[in-house]
Structure 1
């Protein structure tokens, strides 16, 4: 999973985060967007979290 390129769209990253046991974090992302946080900033944080979780899987 880690060798494939990350999706660049919000929906793809959210789906990947959920598959990486990040359902709660995905809900936080959706809430942040609904609250009016900048989409670019939220997307950066989302990508960072997905990369962190993928790196943790590679360490196993």
Structure 2
């Protein structure tokens, strides 16, 4: 349960920070990179929630 809460808070803060950066710097390559990085972060978060406690991938 702790991993879920801290993960959601962490992802939300990173998305907020990167969202502000994308709004300020409107460059297509930056937007593509931010979307790719956030997609990978969410995938990793979901996979870490599904893994048994203490298990390594």
The TM tier, using the shorter chain, reads 0.5 to 0.7
Offset at 1:47? 0.4
Residue 50 of structure 2 aligns with which residue? Answer: 58
Offset at 1:35? 3.0
Structure 1, unpaired ranges of 5+: 1-19
| Distance in structure 2 (CA, Å) of the matches to 1:55 and 1:43 | 18
Which segments of structure 1 move beyond 4 Å, counting only runs of 4 or more? none
Q: In the alignment, is residue 28 of structure 1 matched against residue 17 of structure 2?
A: yes
Residue 39 of structure 1 aligns with which residue? Answer: 31
* Superposition TM-score, scaled by structure 1 size: 0.56
- Contact 1:33/1:39, CA 8 A, preserved across alignment: yes
Please say which structure displays the higher CA radius of gyration.
2
Which structure carries more helix by proportion? 2
Give the CA RMSD over aligned residues.
Answer: 1.7
